[in-house]
Amino acid sequence: MTDELVLVTGGTGFIAQHCILALLNNGYRVRTTIRSPQREAEVREHLRTGGVDAGDRLSFVPADLNADPGWPEAVAGCAYVMHGASPTPSGDQTREEDWIEPAVNGNLRVLQASRDAGVRRVVLTSAFGAIGVGHAPDHRRPFDETDWSNLAGNVAPYQKSKTLAERAAWDLVAREGNGLELAAVNPVAVYGPVLGADYSHSIRLIANMLNGHMGSLNVNSCCVDVRDVADLHLRAMTDPAARGERFLATVGESMPMIEVAELLRLRLGKAAEKVSTQVLTDEQVRIAGETNEQLKGIVPLLGYDMSATGKKAERLLGWAPRSTEEAILSCAESLIRLGLLRS
């Protein structure tokens, strides 16, 4: 057990809140950044849902990745930083620059503030999108940490932003890190128990399926439980073997979406009666993607093999993740338990 202080950026985020839970449960004090102070009560309530009343072991600092104010205060006195906050464009922001510039500059802003404050190590929450997209069908599978997404290929703006932002982070530490250590965690589709109504895009997919709002698409992905993603962040934060390394957070084989639907139907019974086992054609998805931004981002992944391996984290850090099935089912069960599905 320890009383060291750790900064977790973007405290309203799904992964961030599970990282906060893992840190508090392991004796750390936690500071987290939020853009709006009004959301502190929401974060604390989500943590209570996760079984922890944080009390004075958790503090908050207002900070925005798009601006300098707040970051020196956020990192002051911290031994470590877990940086997962990432700006997400909305509304009319559809240009690539609206994704890329805030992601890259936000990473650099946090790293520079961490370096200047004498932080020991930053654990960057990157993404599979920085590793395994844009490649030709004959590219080696499964993907591992030596791979980088091929930005000359068919890559959506979000995935391009994650790739360039992670590369910028490694370049800064190599060029002017002044002893600051960096490790990166690259999760695949993240499931596991939700803590409230603010959750990730991958979980929205499960919610949409349970609500009967969509059939299955011709896409596949590996999965991981958010609790195991948080555990990997904790291991990457303190283990000497993690310094300067990337770690894919993934377990099992890449799973077609139709198999996710069938698993929900099989294991949840009546609660999953709205889940459709109809598979939409690629052409239907492409047409819908012309007016639906979420589907537009999925079009490049139709029929694309996203197999990846997490063996490096298991070998170097002793990481032992839950099964794909448990990650998916615990996600669905939490959505039902917390009343987050539409009737």
Q: What does the pLDDT read at residue 92?
A: 56
The label of the residue with tokens 């919610």 reads 207
Residue 19: pLDDT band (50, 70, 90) is very high
Give a yes or no: residue 296 inside a domain: yes
Q: What does the pLDDT read at residue 96?
A: 85
Mean pLDDT of 184-213: 93
Give a yes or no: residue 73 inside a domain: yes
Specify the amino acid at residue 131: I
Which region among 51-55, 165-169, 292-296 has the lowest average model confidence (pLDDT)? 292-296
Its domain, for residue 158, covers 5-337
Of the candidates 160, 162, 296, 312, the residue annotated as catalytic is 162
Mean pLDDT of 154-158: 88
CATH number at residue 298: 3.40.50.720
176-to-158, 181, 248, 268 alpha-carbon distances in Å: 27, 11, 26, 52
Q: What does the pLDDT read at residue 296?
A: 84
Q: Is the predicted pLDDT of residue 93 greater than 60, yes or no?
A: no
Give a yes or no: residue 342 inside a domain: no
Mean pLDDT of 60-65: 96
Reply yes or no on whether 162 is catalytic.
yes
User: Which residues on adjacent β-strands are paired with residue 220?
Assistant: 256
Give a yes or no: residue 48 inside a domain: yes
Tell me the percentage of the chain whose pLDDT exceeds 90. Answer: 86
Give a yes or no: residue 10 inside a domain: yes
Beta strand 121-125 with 181-187: parallel, antiparallel or unpaired? Answer: parallel
Q: What does the pLDDT read at residue 25?
A: 98
Contact 242, 236 (CB under 8 A): yes
Count of domains forming the chain? 1
Give a yes or no: residue 46 inside a domain: yes
Give a yes or no: residue 267 inside a domain: yes
Give a yes or no: residue 343 inside a domain: no
The separation between CA 85 and the C-alpha centre of its own chain, rounded to angstroms, equals: 9
Residue 50 has a CB neighbour count (10 Å cut-off) of 20
pLDDT, the chain, mean: 94
How would you classify residue 154: left for phi > 0, otherwise alpha for psi between -120 and 50, otherwise beta? beta
